[in-house]
Amino acid sequence: MTGKAARRLMALAVCAILYAGCGPGNGPLPPTPPAEEDPITRISVPGAYGVPGGDEILLPSRQTGALYFGNSFTYRILEPSTMTVVSMSGIPRELKKGERFSLHYRLSKGGKTIQSELYENVEILMTNDKTAWIKFSDQIFFVIDLF
């Protein structure tokens, strides 16, 4: 085989390979549909939802605060008139979507603890500049302000 014939054969092979890649089903992939949003992330009012004793959310008569210690912090909802404190502690300072940790929920009235629950393996569903959504289950979840 001469050099000219070898080049022609090579060019024909390249064309065949390129043509085969252009057949049906080999075009651009369709866009991937966006991941389905968890309905919990649509809730914008901070609080503890589905916890024993009922939801504890931020009302106009309540205030919020955070106590930072080490690598974690406690988020609190306070109602001075009834001396009610809702606290969620063990929250990592650096919140990353998908990260899991243990969250301690506590409800106190008049200085006495009414409810105390440890929720292990809660997941950070989503965060933005102002809010974090933390999920234990479809029924129990937490929405917190970020300071």
Confidence of residue 147 (pLDDT cuts 50, 70, 90): confident
CB 65 within 8 A of CB 80: no
CB atoms within 10 A of CB 126: 16
The owner of tokens 């914008």 is: 44
- Is there a domain that residue 4 lies in? no
Q: How many CA atoms lie within 13 A of 1 on its CB side?
A: 8
- Is there a domain that residue 104 lies in? yes
- Is there a domain that residue 57 lies in? yes
- Is there a domain that residue 111 lies in? yes
- Is there a domain that residue 14 lies in? no
Higher pLDDT: 105 or 26? It is 105
In this predicted structure, what is the pLDDT of residue 37?
Answer: 87
Higher pLDDT: 119 or 27? It is 119
- Is there a domain that residue 122 lies in? yes
Whether residue 34 is predicted with pLDDT greater than 80 in this model: the reply is no
- Is there a domain that residue 92 lies in? yes
Mean pLDDT across the chain: 87
Domain count within the chain: 1
Residue 121 belongs to domain spanning: 44-145
**Is residue 8 helix, strand or coil?**
helix
Taking Cα atoms as reference points, which of 72, 140, 127, 141 lies closest to residue 98?
A: 127
CB 85 within 8 A of CB 107: yes
For range 77-87, the mean pLDDT: 97
In this predicted structure, what is the pLDDT of residue 80?
Answer: 96
Whether residue 85 is predicted with pLDDT greater than 70 in this model: the reply is yes
- Is there a domain that residue 15 lies in? no
The owner of tokens 């809702």 is: 86
% pLDDT > 90, the chain = 74
Confidence of residue 61 (pLDDT cuts 50, 70, 90): very high
14 Cβ contact partners less than 8 Å away, ≥ 6 residues apart: none
Whether residue 20 is predicted with pLDDT greater than 70 in this model: the reply is no
In this predicted structure, what is the pLDDT of residue 67?
Answer: 97
